[in-house]
Chain A
Amino acid sequence: MATVSTSDFKGGLKVMMDGDPYNILENEFVKPGKGQAFNRVKLRNLKTGRVIERTFKSGETMETADVVDTDMQYLYNDGEMWHFMVAETFEQYAADAAAVADAKKWLKEQDVCQVTLYNGVPIGVSPPNFVELKIVETDPGVRGDTSGGGGKPATLETGAVVRVPLFIQTEEVIKVDTRNGEYVSRVK
């Protein structure tokens, strides 16, 4: 892997630290009045998701991490692993629960997700920003009440629970923003 210095640090760069791959979130150059320059860096551990802060002497170097984000189609869950496929090459990858983490409640077969591979193994999954999912259970709304205030919970086919307006019924398909878990619209 290539070596990068603090001057190359920028959001999105993946580096190796203490044996784990990290994603750089922020890099602040700090130089006291007349003294040694530092880089104050925020990084996310790509295995645990934990965000940490670390200071480097300016000019220090690190190894880049063999981490790539690849678009893959979600195939199925076999009870233990979640299986994905690169559409162009038909290459398949199996991700464990730690890698899929919170994304699992948005995964619908055929949807294209971003899978983060570290040394060829999935360590993270990002669902599409918007997913269309069928409601399997929600209280029947009171007819004519479209004021919308508050809404009601609805369970989706993937198991996720989102708040929807009162007029939305079971069996309907809705569009959800996976970044904040909010209802966007009804899909006709």
Chain B
Amino acid sequence: MTLTSYNHWDPSCSIEHLRARALLYAELRRFFLDRGVLEVETPLLGRFGVTDPAIHPFITHLNLPGHKDPETLYLQTSPEYAMKRLLASGSGSIYQICKAFRNEELGRHHNPEFTLLEWYRVDFDLMDLIEEVEALFSSLFETNPHWEAPQRFSYAEIFHQCLGLDPFKATIEELEASARNQGLLEAAALCSEDRSVWLDLLFSYYIQPKLGHNRLTSIYHYPAFMPSLARRSLDHPECVERVELFVAGVELGNGFFELSDPIEQRKRFEGDLEERERQGLPVHPIDDRLLSALETGLPDCSGIAIGLDRLLLLLTDQKALADILAFPMDRA
């Protein structure tokens, strides 16, 4: 996209959608106030980025007068680490509505700068959290007469239902055959031998579009090789306690029963950095402050991040983020 249309001074969304956003924020704040969840604020500009090889941060520099070497700072790709530091210091359940920034993401459902609702519930396991998310969505969508009761499927169930495959046991050849049967001939070239890329591709093409029609659909128990910051499931050791939310085929959020083991967390970070090196991506420092917080002790908690721009898109029945953002990237 070229950023040269300077004549586009006016917002790309209507004033009505500005009001819808303000109303959404008011409803969210009321929801959490009623439940005794504390609103907090954490820095958007931090010393550490994320290690996740699929997330690319914006990098800037702190210049102090008289100092020769500017310090590298990262625009936060999510407030997760800072919020966990608050949880470890005894904040209790907290939430935040804030901006997050991710480089290299631009499309109908992606803007490099976007708004997140992130919340953590102390003493909630993943199913408790899903229940709260369902309550929130029921109240947000209550004016939609077609809105139906929420659905939950495990990752394995939904793969079986939509593709007749077991995502944990299927061989790469079987995954490839499934893609080929649906006419996706280039899949093998895209995914090669990487199982998680295969599952991601099949999921986003042949499962995701079917999820969440006039309802919230939660998919939980992701494979353990897609762990991110989730705790390994005790009952299903091949899975992690991670959930993703879908409405109208749009991915709206990602939540975890949070990993609190600092040693396991450091191992995952280091694994990420090795993968970054392998892919020739910049290697960012590990957030030692988060690890120190985990060492002090993160209470058992579950947390989730929901993309509010996408949520607003669905609440207002629009097609692209540009319809509900005042100034998307090409007008920023």
Binding site for B on A (CB under 8 A): 7, 10, 27-38, 40, 54-59
Contact = CB atoms under 8 A, between A and B. Distances in A.
Contact of B200 (A7, A27, A36): A36
B36 to A, nearest CB: 29
A28 B254 CA distance: 21
Nearest to A39: B107
A29 B108 contact: yes
Contact of B105 (A31, A35, A56): A31
B55 interface: yes
A105 to B, nearest CB: 33
Contact of B197 (A10, A36, A56, A59): A36
Contact of B1 (A10, A30, A31, A56): A10
B109 to A, nearest CB: 8
Interface stretch (B19-27, B133-141, B183-191): B183-191
B52 interface: yes
A38 B107 contact: no
Contacts of A10: 1
B59 interface: no
A37 B104 contact: yes
Contacts of B201: 32, 36, 38, 55
A34 B204 contact: no
Contacts of B106: 7, 29
27 contacts: A7-B1, A7-B106, A10-B1, A28-B107, A29-B107, A29-B110, A30-B107, A30-B204, A32-B201, A32-B203, A32-B251, A33-B200, A33-B254, A34-B55, A34-B226, A35-B54, A35-B197, A35-B200, A36-B197, A36-B200, A36-B201, A37-B54, A38-B190, A38-B201, A38-B204, A55-B187, A57-B190
Nearest to B109: A29
B244 interface: yes
B196 interface: yes
Given A33-B254, A37-B104, A55-B186, 18 more contacts: A7-B1, A10-B1, A27-B107, A29-B105, A29-B109, A30-B107, A31-B105, A32-B203, A32-B208, A32-B251, A34-B254, A35-B197, A35-B200, A36-B197, A36-B201, A38-B204, A54-B186, A57-B190
A33 B251 contact: yes
Contact of A55 (B190, B203, B226, B244): B190
Interface of B: 1, 52, 54-55, 104-110, 184, 186-187, 190, 194, 196-197, 200-201, 203-205, 208, 226, 228, 244, 251, 254
A34 to B, nearest CB: 5
B54 A34 contact: yes
Contacts of B108: 28-29
A58 B104 contact: yes
Q: Which of A27, A28, A29, A33 has most chain B Cβ within 10 Å?
A: A33
A43 B205 CA distance: 18
Contacts of A33: 200, 226, 244, 251, 254
Nearest to A36: B197
Nearest to B191: A36
A28 B320 CA distance: 11
A20 to B, nearest CB: 16
A59 B105 CA distance: 11
Contacts of B226: 33-35
Contact of A35 (B109, B184, B196, B208): B196
A29 to B, nearest CB: 3
A89 to B, nearest CB: 30
Nearest 4 A-B pairs (CB), nearest first? A29-B107, A32-B200, A35-B200, A32-B204
